[in-house]
Amino acid sequence: MSQFVVGVTGGIGSGKTTVTNLFAQKGIEVVDADVIARQVVAPGSDGLSQIVDKFGGLIVTAKGELDRPKLRDIIFKDSRLKAWLNALLHPLIREQMVQQSQAAGSVYCLLSVPLLVENNLQSLVNSVLVVDVDEQHQIERTMLRDDTDAAQVRAIMQAQVSREERLAAADHIIDNNGDSTQLIEKVDELHQIYLALAESFR
């Protein structure tokens, strides 16, 4: 059971997934808030049945899955419905983040939360790791990964906290402006730090 939970965050395309994969290769369990956000509305979930009660059966696709684009459209136009949905989903997601990180079997675990600072979730973790890149790398790498354009990446960045605000919440920072060798070295170094912190935390 992991007592020591490291929250990993960073803007879009900063390298969170790349970083958490490197920790996972060391046997460190990774709990992903994006995965949880899908689990809490998966077919058969209490979350999905409450959404169907509220929005009607047409909010579900023929496959029985939540029609996310449709739901996004509805709440974009109606702030009260958006607030209702957030009030339903945020506690469910939060509860799962706590449960799954506590259940992790590694000496410490990572909780990857892209919007950790935006949603003020620092209290769920023992230490905050920010993956940081400059704007140019962030845009270039996201464009390459998602086959999108700079304007779209900038629009997503606008909806996230500023780099400065995120960095202010960090206990540790990974500077991911360099190459993969530098990244691996930094992860090795942090892994040793987290092992020691987890040990002293027992």
The length of the chain is 202
Q: Which stretch binds ligand ADP (CB under 6 A): 5-13, 66-74, 86-94, 121-129?
A: 5-13
The least distance separating ligand ADP from the CB of residue 11, rounded to whole angstroms, comes to: 7
Choosing from 183, 187, 190, 198, the residue that interacts with ligand ADP (CB under 6 A) is 183
Using the minimum distance from each CB to ligand ADP, give the nearer residue, 141 or 163: 141
Q: Which stretch binds ligand ADP (CB under 6 A): 6-14, 49-57, 78-86, 153-161?
A: 6-14
The amino acid occupying position 127 is: S
Closest Cα to residue 135, out of 113, 112, 114, 164? 164
Question: Which of 2, 8, 17, 31 is the binder for ligand ADP (CB under 6 A)?
Answer: 17
Token pair listed for 145: 């990964």
Q: Where are the alpha helices (DSSP H) in 104-170?
A: 135-146, 150-158, 163-168
Q: Is 122 exposed, middle or buried (0-12, 13-18, 19+ CB in 10 A)?
A: middle
**Which strand ranges, in their side-by-side order, compose the sheet holding 127-132?**
29-32, 108-112, 4-9, 127-132, 172-175
Q: Which CB, 143 or 197, lies closer to ligand ADP?
A: 143
Q: Is 18 in the site for ligand ADP (CB under 6 A)?
A: yes
Which chain residues interact with ligand ADP by CB under 6 A? 10, 12-18, 141, 145, 176, 179-180, 183
